[in-house]
Amino acid sequence: MSVGNSAGFDRHITIFSPEGRLYQVEYAFNACKQAGLTSVAVRGKDSAVVVIQKKVPDKLLDPSTVTNLFYITANIGCVMTGMSADSRYQVKRARSEAAFWKYRYGHEIPVDVLCRRIADISQVYTQSAGMRPLGCIMTLIGYDDKMGPMVFKTDPAGYFCGFRAVACGAKHLEGGNFLEKCFKKKKDYTFNETIELAIHCLSCILSADLRANELEVGIVTQENPKFRTLTEAEIDNHLASLAERD
Amino acid sequence: MSSIGTGYDLSASQFSPDGRVFQVEYAQKAVENSGTVVAIRGKDGIVFGVEKLVMSKLYEKGSNKRIFHIDRHIGMAVAGLLADARQIADIAREEAANYRSDFGGPIPSAVLADRVSMYMHAYTLYSFVRPFGCSVVLSSYDEDGPHMHVIEPSGVAYGYYGCAIGKGKQAAKTEIEKIKMKEMSMHELVNEVARIVYTIHDEVKDKAFELELSWVGKGTEGLHQFIPAEVQEEAEKLAKKSLEDSDSDEDM
């Protein structure tokens, strides 16, 4: 591999290094892991679920203001993994894009179209010198009346893809392996099985028994396609049935 | 862990290899060099206490205030670069005025916190501007009770029951965690806040300071006001007394 000549800026702004890498984009991926949180999203037969840890680091914090789950429209929700402020910015942009689509075309934006739009915006940041990529990963879930439940993820590089299941954040590799093993054995999950798989995955890769107040769960289902977050009591029920299964 | 970002800290549009934005972290350091702000949310109100360090003997009392009124019902206390903070206050006032004009009523502090945090975050994205070197605390009281939000230079905003930002924040946080704020009335909070500021003030490093106090809550009917002179005097007297008491305890 020849060592090309670079002016030394390839690590500082989003230009190519001699080996053809974008260092700033790679560093942005590291930023997504900085917060130390991991999220898991699973698509079942007729439902889609996102789960993320809830860490309230300061006793004086008001826990009701700490969240990583956001709704984009009534029917589309997302989990944001990575830098807090960048996440809120991207959520705001997504809400704005979804609202504009509704205004322009008269119907709700589909999940994959929204994801593509956010990914295209993220790509612009990887090609501008004056801006940095956002240090956050957005995993969108929604229930489409033609396509069924959908899970889409977009990252700082501007890449996006639909998934059957995906893990993002600090422990995404372990999460990915775990989910691959589960999906090899079984491909169709009912609503309860989907939630339990997501929670089980998270507790295994974190090697910890998670409690209801350390988790946030967001769901969309065929019966109720509106994005909603589960209450602590509902999460407790799922944890209980998970414990019984084991 | 070294937090020197040599080479990756030149602008807010650069990530370091481990994914940090050093310009934002340096802005947070600017906040830590300033006088402490202590804010506590009680049962039916919020009290701000600001340790305003006085640099000169010629200083005129009451100038360079670090607590601002945003509209009539929201208070903002700042730590960090005062010039940057004045910009934030202006933006907050503009947002509040626009909200009134658009929606016909006072802006909820959660909405204002959201807008101010997005504004501060925008300055952490581009290379041609620098992040704001200040943290702000917003407080208000409405039918849902008291609300308090802290916004850092990175644009991250959370709601709090008690917070301290600035030089003495660690010591202040320890003191705040000891008190049962959720049951305290506004008057009790005033005395506690004054006591905490006096306790954490470092007599050796920083000589003189002026204590700025303000409150908003049921007692002020939701209006943000500076604390009346008699209440402030009383609180400072009690604070100085408790400091002497604890000093004499140490001597024993």
pLDDT tens digits, A146-157: 999 999 999 999
φ/ψ (deg, to 5) at A119: -65, -40
Over range B20-24, report the average pLDDT: 91
Distance from C-alpha of B252 to C-alpha of B240, rounded to nearest angstrom: 19
Compare CB distances from A60 to B149, B156, B163 and report the shortest one's residue. B163
3-state secondary structure A194-215: HHHHHHHHHHHHHCCCCCHHHE
Q: Is A225 exposed, middle or buried (0-12, 13-18, 19+ CB in 10 A)?
A: middle
Confidence band for A7, pLDDT divided at 50, 70 and 90: low
Counting Cβ atoms within 10 Å, is residue B6 exposed (0-12), middle (13-18) or buried (19+)?
A: exposed
Q: What ipTM score was computed for the predicted complex, to two decimals?
A: 0.73
Whole-angstrom Cα distance, residue B217 to residue B189? 11
* Chain B residue with Cα closest to A85: B156
To test the contact with chain B by mutation, choose from A6, A10, A27 the residue with the greatest count of B C-beta atoms within 10 A, namely A27
Q: How far apart are CA B15 and CA B5, in angstroms?
A: 10
Q: Give B5's pLDDT tier (boundaries 50, 70, 90).
A: low
Q: Which amino acid is at B185?
A: S
Tokens representing B166?
Answer: 């600035």
**Structure confidence by residue, pLDDT tens digits, B44-89:** 999 999 999 888 888 888 888 999 999 999 999 999 999 999 999 9
* Rounded Cα–Cα distance for residues B3 and A216 (Å): 32
Residue-wise pLDDT tens digits, A223-246: 999 999 999 999 999 999 998 987
What is the structure's pLDDT at B1?
41
Position A11 confidence tier, pLDDT thresholds 50, 70, 90: confident
Give the DSSP per-residue string, A112-138: HHHHHHHHHHHHHHTS-SSB---SEEE
Note the pLDDT tens digit of each residue in A33-50: 988 999 999 999 999 999
Kindly determine whether residue A131 and residue B176, on different chains, have CB atoms separated by under 8 Å.
no
CB B186 within 8 A of CB B40: no
> What gap in Å lies between CA B121 and CA B131, rounded to an integer?
8
Residue A80 near residue A138 (C-beta atoms within 8 A): yes
The owner of tokens 């609300």 is B147
What beta strand segments (E) does chain B contain?
37-41, 45-54, 67-70, 74-80, 134-142, 145-151, 157-159, 162-165, 208-217, 225-226
Residue pointed to by tokens 């591999």: A1
Q: Tell me how far CA of residue A21 lies from CA of A14, A40, B109, in angstroms.
A: 9, 28, 44
Task: State the average pLDDT for chain B.
Answer: 91
Of A30, A84, A132, the CB nearest to B14: A132
Confidence of residue B8 (pLDDT cuts 50, 70, 90): confident
Closest residue of A to B181, CA-based?
A60
Residue A124 has pLDDT above 50, yes or no: yes
**A23, A60, A84 member nearest B173 (Cβ):** A60
Q: Quickly state the pLDDT bin for A2 (edges 50, 70, 90).
A: very low
pLDDT, tens digit, 9 for 90 and up, residues B164-206: 999 989 999 999 999 988 889 899 999 999 999 999 998 888 7
Q: Which residues of A touch B173 (CB under 8 A)?
A: 60
Sheet containing B145-151: order of strands: B67-70, B74-80, B134-142, B145-151, B157-159
Q: What is the pTM for the complete model shown?
A: 0.83
Rounded to the nearest angstrom, the minimum Cα separation between A157 and chain B is: 13
Q: Could you say which of A30, A64, A65 has the minimum Cβ distance to residue B19?
A: A30
* Backbone CA torsion sign across B55, B56, B62, B64: negative
- Tell me which residue in A32, A66, A85 faces B117 most closely, judged by beta carbons: A85
Number of CB atoms found within 10 A of residue A122's CB: 25
Q: Which strands make up the sheet holding A69-71, listed edge to edge?
A: A69-71, A76-82, A136-144, A148-154, A160-162
Instruction: Please indicate whether, in this complex, the C-beta atoms of A130 and B121 are within 8 angstroms of each other.
Output: no
User: Which residue does chain B place closest to A9, by CA atoms?
Assistant: B7
Q: Quote the minimal CA–CA distance from A25 to chain B in Å.
A: 8
Do A130 and B163 make contact, defined as CB atoms within 8 angstroms?
A: no
Contact B17 A33 (CB under 8 A): no
Helix (H) or strand (E) holding A149: strand A148-154
Would you place residue A3 in the very low, low, confident or very high pLDDT band (cuts 50, 70, 90)? low
